[in-house]
Every structure is written in structure tokens, then in C-alpha cells.
Amino acid sequence: MSRIPFSLCLLALTGCEGFLASADWVPGAPPTPVPVRAPEPEVDVCQPALTDVGRVTLRRLNRFEYDSTVRDLLGDATHPANAFPADDFGHGFDNQGDVLSTAPLLVEKYDAAALALVKTALAAEYRPGFSQRLPSSTMTASTGSQAGAAWNLYSAGSIEGDLTVSAAGTYTLSVRAYEDAAGAERSQLAFLVGGVAQGTSVSVAATAAAPQTYSRQVTLTAGTHRVGARFLNDYYVAPADRNLYVEWVELTRPASGTPGSSARILTCDPTTGGGSCVRDILSRFGRKAWRRPLVDAELERLSALVALAQTEGDGVQQGLELALQAVLLSPHFLFRVEADLSTAPRALDDHELAARLSYFLWASTPDDELSTLADTGGLRAQLEPQVRRMLADPRADALSSQFGGSWLWSRGVEEVSPDPSLFPAITPALKASMKAQTEKFFGTFYQEDRSALELFTGTDTFLDDGLAAHYGLPAPGSSSLTRVRDLPLTRRGLLGNAGLLTITSQATRTSPVKRGKWVMSQLLCMEPPPPPANVEAFMQSATPTGTLRQQFEAHRANPSCAGCHAMMDPIGFGLENYDAIGRYRTTDTGGFAIDSSGTLFDGRTFNGPTELSGVIAADPKFAECAARQLFTYALGRAPVATDACTLKTMTAAFTQNGSRLPALITALVTSDTFTQRHGEAP
């Protein structure tokens, strides 16, 4: 197989497609000589003049970050962002500030989501009001008779009925009544619960022309209670006759807040605490939602919304809903705001730094510990221990699903559609297991502080029974992913994962080009140049007379195709033992024996996917690429020339600490680039 010298590949990767597409070069012939230049003096990329902390564009929360934030803020697990438009990707990630636009449709979705979120959250922290009434006609009396809408207790006796309350507490027992006056006393009414008088009786002075409601506070347990009224002082001296009339009996309890250890919003009861309680609720909630303390003017504006609702006849609960919805619709919630104070570099304040750190490692809002450190100004001195703490937290799974999932493409596995007539084994459940396998495997590298080189050589993975059967391995005896060790050589490391192998295939066959390009761009950060214009696409023969590799080699005879394919194809053919859905094989679909040996563009050779994995693990460009990928995800922007020093420092920390991700993460988090920013000139 012909080889292109590594220096010429670098030319191709920096845009010199014309050289590789030249008609003067054909496979098997040496490339046109390049004039030799004297080596340029090495430049120290860490000179102050060549470094810059950079500026991160104001970043909107992406859909995953929105869902994670409302989960941690409100305990909501309904994933409201599923209804939002999809986020755009930039530089391989969907958290890049320059591409996270805000369309009118998204604003409408934000409005609807905010209203639903606060209504649900407040309802959970409010004790609902209770009101049930028993008309006299539905009750049982010991004496008397119906008189219109009222029951006439014309002699001493009672009228009672059953009401059920779902919660214990204090209720108001009310009786609508009037009397026929006679004698020197007014009619005496006793309030009954379970046949027992509650407190002292009341005098009824109302008349039929103007009945009145009389009330008493009673304490009830949850359940059904017999409630009613008793006429205590009957009087009859003809023609004078004292009677008590009862129109209805009612139990009520107003809605009220239930602050407690589980409350996420109500720090006090706003139905009794007044304006000071409302301010405290908004101050605490706003501080968590906006990831910083509110200033007085902001708090006044939010409190005014509650007061406005109350002046319009709504209750304090509805007023709080309005104010909290405003909090969730504010740019201070929807965006990660970092002030551009000047064009000179400045240190992020601790609240901005806490948000950068939490959205990097958790894709969510800072927790109480980060916020407390930020409030006291102590976060900057605690970055390293905070990184260790946060990586051990379950919320760090986001680093695997979002960073690892985008970098290694596992996020897209469930969306691929291999031809079902050729690959009926692929089901939604199997694709979900493929995706989760890669992400759980990646998570072990920062959770367990293991060498990232084991991404390619590790002897362990995560399987369920379905995925194990797909691989032809013994079932672990579980329908959920379980750690499996001592894998056979063909399943070790990332390149043996079916999810990756499926997403880098065509719908009907493998794709050595896709697989080779994936390794180059994602693992080595060597993006091949785009294909020349009007190049003829490769078409697989319907009746092949040789392997896919042999067909591609014929395709590469076209000089316009040769350059790129010479870089990508050897890698892709090294993975040809895996079919389009990641099953291991020794012959292809045409029955031809597979040759998975190869020679890379810099002269290194391998034989089969296991040796290819070892070659990639030993490539120093992997460490540089890992640093670049992590930088892009964490900062929300791709590195530029002035970031070379930061990348160099990160790479050195990574390699000098056994290629461990926590060391790489810590090097980035403690760098000036992560902890500082500057604005732009207008």
C-alpha cells in the first residue's frame, strides 16, 4: 500500500488540498518534492504577547442544561426542554455560545415552560384550600322540619351531616342561621363535631330577613367527621315561640404555604408572613435561579409583581407564580451572564466562576456548597478540592453524557437507522444499550481516575443481556448494564463498541471512510480536508468480485480522491472486522476474507483492530486532542492561536499524571483562561 509522508499529511490538514489533488501524483508514485527550508526558531507560545484569556460569548442554556437546572432548582424531572427547538452544534458540541441562538418560537416555549414549572412547584408547597358545605336539606335532624331553605329546630335538638377532610389541621366550622326571637334570651347555638360541642355557644340574633354566618375554629384529624349545630335554649310560652333555623353547615380552610426542609421555594408562609416573607422567598429563589445574589432594585421589581396581583384580586400564591415566572424568563436565568467590564482581562467574580465550574462538570446550576464559597469569596482558593468533590457527585454523569457523548458521538447512536431488512437485530432498546455502554465506560475515567489510554485498551465494559448477545458474549444475567471484565481482545476499548461502529457506518454497509475520519478528527484532531468539488462518489458494486477494501483501492486510483483516502482508509480498514452494526466477523458480506492490516500515513503499521487501538493509544496527538476537546466543551468556544499556552499546559498535566482526566480537568479549571475573561471593544 502506498504511503504519504506525515509532513505532507500536515499540509493537507492545513488546507493544501491542491497538492494532494494534483494530476502529477498517482498512487504508488513518490509525491512531488517539496523545497527544503531551514527550520524556523521555536517560539515560546506562553509569552505574554502570544497569550490571551479570551472572551466567551454570552451562553444560553442548551436544552440539557435547562432540564438539569430546573431539576436541581425545582425538583422537576419532566424534561420540559424536550418541547424546545433543537440546539445547534458548533465545533462538535451544542453548548457553544456563538451558535446558541434565541428564536421567537423558543421564547414562546420558555414562557409556557416557566408558567407550568412554577405552578407545579408552588402547588406542591402549598396546602390546598378546603371548602365543603352541607345544605340543611341533606342533613339529619333530631327534631324540627324543613322551612324553605332552612331547617327549623323548633325545640332543643341538633342537625348534623358527614364531611371528609384529607388532611389533619385547623378548620373553620361555619353555620348559616337565624332565629324566631322569644323570651329574654337570644337563641343559643353550639357547634358540633362528632356530637361534642366545640367551645362556647354563640347567641344568634339574626332574622329571616338577614341570616348570618357564625363560625368556630375546630381541630380535625384526616378522615370523615360528623359536624353540625345544636339548639340549646328552646322557649315556648304561647303565643311566644323561640326557634333556631339552620340553612347550612360548612367546613373551610384557606390555602397556605407549607415551608419545611423539603420546600424548594417557600422559606416561610406567605399567607401569614406578609411582604417580608414574600421578599425572603424571592430573594432566596432568585439567588439560586440567577446564580448570584439579587440587588435591591431587582428584588423590588419582583416583589411589586406579587403586590400587583393582589391589588387585582388574586391571592399571594398567584402573585408568587407571576414573580417566579418572571425569574425563570429573565436572561439572568436563561443565559450564563458574565459582565464585559472592559477590554482588559479581569478575574471572574466567584459567582461567575461557580457557574462556569458547575455547568462544565454538571451541566447544571451551582449547589449550596459552591454558592456558599462564592458568597464568601473563597471559591478560587478551593478549585482543586471542588473539582474532586464534583467529579464524585452523581451529577457528574453529565460530563459523560454531554462531553463524552458529543466527543465520542454516542449521543447520536439512537438516531441512526441501519437498514432493517439487512440488520433486523437492531432495535431501539439495543441502540439505547449501545449508547449507554459508551457513556458509562467513559465515566469510569474521571470517576475512578484511571488512565485515559485505557479508552483503547481497557479490558472492561458495561453490558446487559441483549448487548452481550449482540457481541456473542456470555450474558451477565441482567437487563440493565452491568460491569463486565476480562473481555476478549476483539471487544476491548472504545473501538470495539457497537455504538461507535454503527454510527460510523452506512445504512447498508460499513464505511472505512467514516470510521477513519472519526478517528482522525475526534481522537487526533486532524480534520481531513473536504473532498474536491464534483468528485465522483464511491459506489459499491452490486456483485462484488473482491472485498470492500479492494473496491475502495480502485476508487482511490482517482488522483482527486487519493490524498484524503490515503489518510483515512487504513484506519477504517483496520476496523473492517466489525460489520455495520458492530458485530465481529472474519469475512465480509460477499464472503471474502477481511484484511484488517494497514500502514498509517506516518509509517506506523498494525494488524487488526486490537493493534490499531494500541497505535492510537500511543499517539501523542491523542493527549493534545483530548485537551482541545475538553477546552472547547468547557469554555463554549474553540481554542484560537492565543490559547496555545493553555493547551500546552493542559496536555503536559495530562501526560505527566498518567493520562488521567481529573488532572486534565484541574489544569483547565485553574488556568487563567478558565478563571478570567475580557470584553470586546465596541
In a domain, 376, yes or no: no
Q: Are 442 and 588 found together in one domain?
A: yes
At residue 220, the pLDDT reads 96
Number of CB atoms found within 10 A of residue 42's CB: 6
Position 161: which residue type?
Answer: G
Q: Are 191 and 298 found together in one domain?
A: no
Q: Are 582 and 488 found together in one domain?
A: yes
In a domain, 387, yes or no: no
Mean pLDDT, the chain, rounded, equals: 89
**Alpha-carbon 288 to chain mean position:** 16
In the DSSP assignment, the letter for residue 99 is T
With DSSP H G I counted as helix, E B as strand and the rest as coil, what are the percentages for the chain, rounded to 5? 45, 15, 40
Number of CB atoms found within 10 A of residue 282's CB: 28
The two beta strands, 346-347 and 676-677, are antiparallel
At residue 590, the pLDDT reads 83
Q: Are 226 and 275 found together in one domain?
A: no
- Mind listing the pLDDT tens digit for each residue in 560-602? 665 666 778 889 999 999 999 999 999 988 888 999 998 888 8
The C-alpha cell of 72 is what?
436541581
Rg of the chain taking only CA atoms, in angstroms: 37
At residue 165, the pLDDT reads 93
Across residues 431-460, what is the average pLDDT? 97
User: Does residue 10 surpass a pLDDT of 50?
Assistant: no
Phi and psi, residue 173, nearest 5°: -100, 120
The set of residues, in sequence order, having a beta carbon less than 8 Å from that of 637 and lying 6+ positions away, is 54, 56, 57, 91, 96, 97, 98
Contact 222, 168 (CB under 8 A): yes
In a domain, 668, yes or no: no
In a domain, 567, yes or no: yes
Q: Are 307 and 239 found together in one domain?
A: no
- Mind listing the pLDDT tens digit for each residue in 333-387? 999 999 887 888 999 999 999 999 999 999 999 999 999 999 999 999 999 999 9
The C-alpha cell of 674 is what?
478558565
The set of residues, in sequence order, having a beta carbon less than 8 Å from that of 528 and lying 6+ positions away, is 12, 13, 517, 520, 521, 564, 567, 568
In a domain, 425, yes or no: yes
Phi and psi, residue 434, nearest 5°: -60, -45
Report the predicted TM-score, pTM, of the whole model to 2 decimal places. Answer: 0.82
Position 660: which residue type?
Answer: R
Task: State the residue for C-alpha cell 477481511.
Answer: 594
Q: Are 14 and 139 found together in one domain?
A: no
Q: Are 202 and 289 found together in one domain?
A: no
Tell me the CATH number at 189.
2.60.120.260
User: Does residue 21 surpass a pLDDT of 90?
Assistant: no
Position 296: which residue type?
Answer: D
The Cα–Cα gap between 647 and 655 comes to 12
User: Does residue 20 surpass a pLDDT of 60?
Assistant: no
Three-state SS at 359:
helix
Sign, CA dihedral 70-71-77-83, equals positive
Q: Are 195 and 281 found together in one domain?
A: no
Q: Are 182 and 316 found together in one domain?
A: no
pLDDT more than 90, % of the chain: 77
In a domain, 565, yes or no: yes
Domain boundary among 335, 365, 382: 335
In a domain, 516, yes or no: yes
The Cα–Cα gap between 377 and 374 comes to 5
Three-state SS at 62:
coil
Angle between helices 661-669 and 428-447 (to 10 degrees): 70
- Mind listing the pLDDT tens digit for each residue in 201-220? 999 999 999 999 999 999 99
Sign, CA dihedral 415-420-425-427, equals positive
Domain boundary among 253, 281, 306: 253
User: Does residue 296 surpass a pLDDT of 90?
Assistant: yes
In a domain, 460, yes or no: yes
Q: Are 510 and 425 found together in one domain?
A: yes
The set of residues, in sequence order, having a beta carbon less than 8 Å from that of 189 and lying 6+ positions away, is 175, 177, 201, 202, 203, 204, 214, 229, 230, 231, 232, 244
Q: Are 420 and 462 found together in one domain?
A: yes
Across residues 390-403, what is the average pLDDT? 98
At residue 2, the pLDDT reads 35
Q: Please tell me the total count of domains within the chain.
A: 3
Contact 411, 405 (CB under 8 A): yes
Q: Are 422 and 492 found together in one domain?
A: yes
Across residues 589-618, what is the average pLDDT? 91
At residue 386, the pLDDT reads 98
- Range of 307's domain? 270-335
pLDDT interval class at 680 (50, 70, 90): confident
Contact 515, 504 (CB under 8 A): yes
Alpha-helical (H) ranges within 411-493 are 428-447, 454-457, 465-471
Position 644: which residue type?
Answer: A
The set of residues, in sequence order, having a beta carbon less than 8 Å from that of 275 and lying 6+ positions away, is 303, 307
The Cα–Cα gap between 26 and 292 comes to 63
At residue 30, the pLDDT reads 34
- Mind listing the pLDDT tens digit for each residue in 34-90? 344 445 556 678 887 788 898 888 999 999 999 999 999 999 999 999 999 999 999
Task: State the residue for C-alpha cell 455502554.
Answer: 437
Phi and psi, residue 636, nearest 5°: 70, 25
Across residues 613-629, what is the average pLDDT? 97
